[in-house]
Structure 1
Amino acid sequence: MTIEGKLMRIQTWTPNFRPEEDTPIVHIWILLPGLPWHFFKMEFITPILSPIGKVVYLDTASIKRTRASMAKVKVQVDLTKARPRHLWIGLDEKDLTIGRWQTIEYESIPPYCEYCKHQGHMIYECNFKIRDEEFKKMKELEVEKKDKNKGEQMPKGNDNK
């Protein structure tokens, strides 16, 4: 929400909360295309999606089963963790004849920079990282220049024998 022009996010408390960092925990929609309609229940979907994150709720069309082509689920995910493209749904993980692979599609995953801990861009676009790398290069060049100057200023040995 926005309060007096400032973005305000309400989030679960964590002991390592730092106000200068954005949380990597966000709610996103996950689509389960081809999921059989009789599986469109929280009791079934919650354990299936537990490796990805905490299931928050199903959309209205999934609850009412008016869109049989897929289930749509709001899930709380950590942007710093990998998100699988498919999950196994079955009774036995070793017997692949008793179950099926379920495709997972993600909607509108916000970019998250693990360098500056802000949402909105990825690490390769991070101005803080670019600035820090340029500063590091400048410092390295200064050290090299000082070392080179020291080497040139050293007195040479007396060659008169």
Structure 2
Amino acid sequence: MAAECEHTLVDRLLKPRPQINCIRSNFKEMIYVTKIGVYDNYNVFLDFTNDDDFNPTRYKCIIDIEGQQMWLQKWSPDFKEKEDFSIGTPLEMDLATIGRTRPSMAKVRVEIDLIKPQLDSVYVGLTHKNFPQTGFMQEKIEYEGVPKYCKYCKKKKNMGI
């Protein structure tokens, strides 16, 4: 099965996916030859027929279809549709990150659970058959606009005991 899925991407959506015809027409506009399969309301499989179509899409982080962002990831045998993101639920990226005009950093708006401890850093890397897994590096996380939150009474701006 891994050989059959060499050119397969999984698209994850935060909201229920658009109609499959909208997704198909979007890929026809991009002139990519692909077979689109629905896993569930939040995950779609994209099967590309060749490297020429697969590679440019593989290195995009997101694709926007009908105002919804589809987060792309390479299919792997251990795919889990309910896998949590280590920081929280990604909502959107800023334009500089999408356009790769600021390669020294990435900015992503993420919904976090304020009750859980916040991570200081994450491991970032790319796994591909042609790249060794030694390319992972630890990146510092900087949080912006996080409200003060009391973990005891679970209310905003009450820092009592």
Instruction: Tell me the TM-score normalized by structure 1.
Output: 0.42
Question: Normalising by the residue count of structure 2, what TM-score does the alignment of the two structures yield?
Answer: 0.42
Q: Relative contact order (C-alpha < 8 Å, sep 6+): which is higher? A: 1
